Amino acid sequence: MKIIDKEQLKKKLTIEIKNPDLFQEALTHRSYLNEHKGYKYSHNERLEFLGDAVLELAVTRYLFEHFNNPEGELTSFRAALVNSDILGEIGSALGLQDFLLMSRGEAKDTGRARVYLIANALEAVIGAIYLDQGFEAAQIFVEKYVLSHLDEVMDKGLYTDPKSRFQELAQEKFGITPSYRVLKEWGPDHDRRFIAGVFLEDELAAEGEGASKQEAQREAAKQGLVKKGWQ
């Protein structure tokens, strides 16, 4: 059984750790348990569930205190900050992949599935910080590592919903309303994956992968904007 080096984790994340078991769990993927039957810790999905809520509240509180925009715009800002792409990027920059315990098969994956694993682990770590030290410590962590991307989100217009933007431009340029179809789905119920395609009539404009049909559609629209040069 592998025990995560908590001192190294503390240095990487610049946090304090009172209860190391919380962080061991936060960095344990479900697949690791399948290969290590004697492992005494649980996987990180419950902490991920908690961390997702803590992250949303921390971002919401910051946006509420610093922006006077209407609710709809604040919701868009928040969605852009807490999506899997940005969280995966943040988690990778922090080196969470060096601590994450997963199966040999998952460890070999370097594609989008790895991004989601790291994003989920980051949410679980936020949940662990909350339980370990309280909401204010979690808020500080979120402001330091997540909200630091807010300028990028604003400058690049990443808060604009890609499906709405793709539809607007498709109608403007071609008079076509795009449609979406699920092209592939796989995985168990707790870890389902989808690939969706965005179509301009019969033309497959782009594909996107996600943990839900809606997320896959958003990713397809995002990729469509890139491929069409509409960004």
> Residues 25-68: pLDDT tens digits?
999 999 899 888 888 999 999 999 999 999 999 999 999 999 99
175: left (phi over 0), alpha (psi -120 to 50) or beta: left
| Residue 89, pLDDT above cutoff 80 | yes
Mean pLDDT of the chain: 91
Q: What is the pLDDT of residue 84?
A: 85
Q: What are phi and psi of 161, to 5 degrees?
A: -65, 120
Q: What is the pLDDT of residue 35?
A: 86
Q: What are phi and psi of 68, to 5 degrees?
A: -105, 15
What are the tokens at 190? 């707790």
Percentage of the chain modeled with pLDDT above 70: 97
3-class DSSP assignment, residue 194: strand
Q: How far apart are CA 179 and CA 139, in angstroms?
A: 39
Pick from 99, 135, 104, 134: which is nearest to 8 by CA?
99
The per-residue pLDDT for range 125-153, each reduced to its tens digit, is 999 999 999 999 999 999 999 999 999 88
Pick from 154, 144, 97: which is nearest to 120 by CA?
97
Q: How confident is the model at residue 110 (pLDDT cuts 50, 70, 90)?
A: low
Write down the domain spans for the chain: 6-155, 162-227
Q: What are phi and psi of 111, to 5 degrees?
A: -90, -150
Backbone CA torsion sign across 93, 10, 62, 73? positive
Least confident of 60-69, 84-93, 101-110, 190-199: 101-110
| Residue 231, pLDDT above cutoff 90 | no
Q: What is the pLDDT of residue 147?
A: 96
Q: What is the pLDDT of residue 197?
A: 97
Pick from 99, 58, 100: which is nearest to 82 by CA?
58
Q: How far apart are CA 202 and CA 172, in angstroms?
A: 18
- CATH number 3.40.640.10 given to 6-155: no
- CATH number 3.80.10.10 given to 162-227: no
What are the tokens at 44? 């990180």
The catalytic residue positions are 52, 123
Pick from 175, 192, 174: which is nearest to 184 by CA?
192
| Residue 101, pLDDT above cutoff 90 | yes
- 2, 101 contact by CB (below 8 A): yes
| Residue 106, pLDDT above cutoff 80 | no
| Residue 78, pLDDT above cutoff 70 | yes
| Residue 200, pLDDT above cutoff 70 | yes
| Residue 208, pLDDT above cutoff 70 | yes
